[in-house]
Amino acid sequence: MTSTPAKPEEKEADHHPYRRPRDAATLILIDRSHARPRVLVGRRHDNVVFMPGKYVFPGGSVDKTDNRVPVAAPIPRELEINLMKGSPRTEPSRARSLAIAAIREACEETGLCLGCKRDDPATRRLNGVWQPFADAGLLPDPSGLFLIARAITPPGRVRRFDTRFFTADASAIAHRVEGVVHADAELVELVWVEIGSEPLAAAHVMTKQVLHQLDRRLATGPLRHDTPVPFFHFYGGKMQMDLLGG
C-alpha cells in the first residue's frame, strides 16, 4: 500500500462537531457508444445541505435492508475482496450491502435500474424503493460493478461519508422510471458528459479526483478487479491517497 498527499480540497466549513462517517455508495455509469466514454452526472438541488448545486454521481447511504434484497447474480468475489480492503475493515455482508446500495440509489435518484429480467418469485417480494424493479420483472444485478475509489469525508464537515465509488456500463440499464428527475427533486438535471468537460469544471474536488482515477483506468483498456484502488482519507491534518491492493 502506498500513500501520497491528495490535491488540496476546496474550502468547506470544517467547524462542525465530530461525526462518524456513514457507509455510502455511488454509481458512475459509463456510456461507451461514443469516441470518448461519457459518464452520467446529476446536478443537485440548490437547497440541499450536502454539495448544493454541484454535479455529482448518484449515490447515498447504505440502508439496513440492502443486504437482504434478492439479486440476479452475486457480486464477484474479486469485488468483495476489494471492498474489504482499507480501514475500517468492511465485512463481507457489508460489502454486498454497498454494491446493492449503489444500484438502489441510482434508481431512486435517476430512475435508471440496473438489473436482469427474471421469472422468479423473488421479484414479487420487492417493494418500497425496489418497486420499480418488481414492476419491470427485474432483480438488481451487481455482477457488473467495479470499485473505482473509496473516500472518507474529512472531520468537521456537516455530513461525513465513507463512500465507495462503483462503475458500471450503461448497457446494464434494464429499465427507466420516468419523472424521477425534476425541478423539485434531489437531482434536477441529468447529463452524459465526457470526463473533463464543462459541466464537471465546478464539480466537487473529490468528484474530480475520482473521475481522474476512472479516466486513467479507462485509458488502459477494459476495467479489471485486480487494479489498485485509490483510498482518499484524512490523516495528519491532510487528505491522503493510499493505493489498496493490486
| Mean pLDDT of successive 10-residue stretches along the chain, which has 246 residues | 45 58 95 92 84 87 94 96 89 95 96 93 91 95 97 81 96 95 91 88 86 92 94 85 84
Domain range 2-244, CATH class = alpha beta
Q: List all residues 6 or more positions away from 187 whose beta carbon is below 8 Å from its beta carbon.
A: 42, 43, 44, 45, 56, 58, 109, 110, 180, 181
pLDDT for the residue 8: 41
pLDDT for the residue 155: 81
Strands 112-117 vs 187-194: parallel, antiparallel or unpaired: unpaired
Distances (CA, A) of 169 to 38, 97, 146, 209, 222: 10, 20, 10, 20, 11
pLDDT for the residue 245: 76
pLDDT for the residue 16: 54
pLDDT for the residue 35: 87
Distances (CA, A) of 227 to 40, 80, 103: 23, 14, 22
Q: How far is CA 239 from the centre of its chain?
A: 20
- What's phi and psi for 41, nearest 5 deg? -130, 155
**Is residue 134 a contact partner of residue 117, using CB atoms and an 8 Å limit?**
no
**Is residue 59 a contact partner of residue 24, using CB atoms and an 8 Å limit?**
yes
pLDDT for the residue 246: 59
CA–CA gap between residue 186 and residue 230 (Å, rounded): 28
At residue 59's C-alpha, the angle toward residues 237 and 143, to 5°, is 110
CA–CA gap between residue 113 and residue 123 (Å, rounded): 14
All structural domains of the chain with their residue ranges: 2-244
pLDDT for the residue 157: 67
pLDDT for the residue 17: 57
**Is residue 112 a contact partner of residue 136, using CB atoms and an 8 Å limit?**
no
pLDDT for the residue 11: 44
pLDDT for the residue 14: 54
